[in-house]
Amino acid sequence: MPKNSVDVHVGNRLKLRRTMVGMSQDRLGQMVGLTFQQIQKYEKGANRIGASRLYQFATLLDVPPAYFFQGLEGQPVTSRDGRQLEAAVPADSPTASFTREDVELLRAFHGLQQQGLRRRIIDLVWAMNNSAEAGHNGPAGAAATADDAAAPSPRTAQDHGPDRPPGSIRSRHSA
């Protein structure tokens, strides 16, 4: 029997969250009375996770049960009579394609307690992203220094652009 795409998605989200909290398959399995092989089967979508087990995982991993379904928005659904039903929300969630590096960055960022530092890191990453999109190797085409990363940039109304999320600012180096 082929794997169900929803089971694979839910399994990927289970693995993502388990990894984000730094828990092994063996440890999660012990907490719910399963072997690490069973957790592995869930994560690969080879075995379907029942509702009560999914709720148990959500509780242990400190997320709402809906977390495991995030990213499925916009996926077509087949009704019992075989008709394709349109989803109400477009599918644009990037979480289904997270890499190991994405998870590592999120875990490190999640561990930061200083809000000011977290904000400056977000600003720095946006500035680096904008520089990369403009074809530069760094801010204004020059190599960034540790001082550039640590120095707070002045926040003014013109720093915010329409393509940036609320709270983000332009680097003082970008045009």
Confidence label for 61 from pLDDT (cuts 50, 70 and 90): very high
The C-alpha atoms of residue 121 and residue 66 are separated, in whole angstroms, by 29
The pTM (predicted TM-score) of the whole model is 0.52
What percent of the chain shows pLDDT beyond 70? Answer: 66
35 Cβ neighbours under 8 A, 6+ residues apart = 29
Residue with tokens 């990369």: 132
Residue 51 has pLDDT above 80, yes or no: yes
Range with the poorest average pLDDT among 39-48, 102-111, 159-168? 159-168
User: Helix, strand or coil for residue 84?
Assistant: strand
5-75+86-95 in CATH: which number? 1.10.260.40
- Residue 135's pLDDT is 67
Structure tokens at 13: 């989200």
Q: Domain residues of the chain, as ranges?
A: 5-75+86-95, 112-159
pLDDT digits (tens, 9 = 90+) for 71-99: 887 676 677 787 776 654 344 545 556 67
Residue 16 DSSP class? H
Residue 167 has pLDDT above 70, yes or no: no
CB crowding 66-76: b at 16 or more within 10 Å, else e:
ebbeebbeeee
- Residue 132's pLDDT is 74
Q: Choose among 64, 66, 72: nearest CA to 95.
A: 72
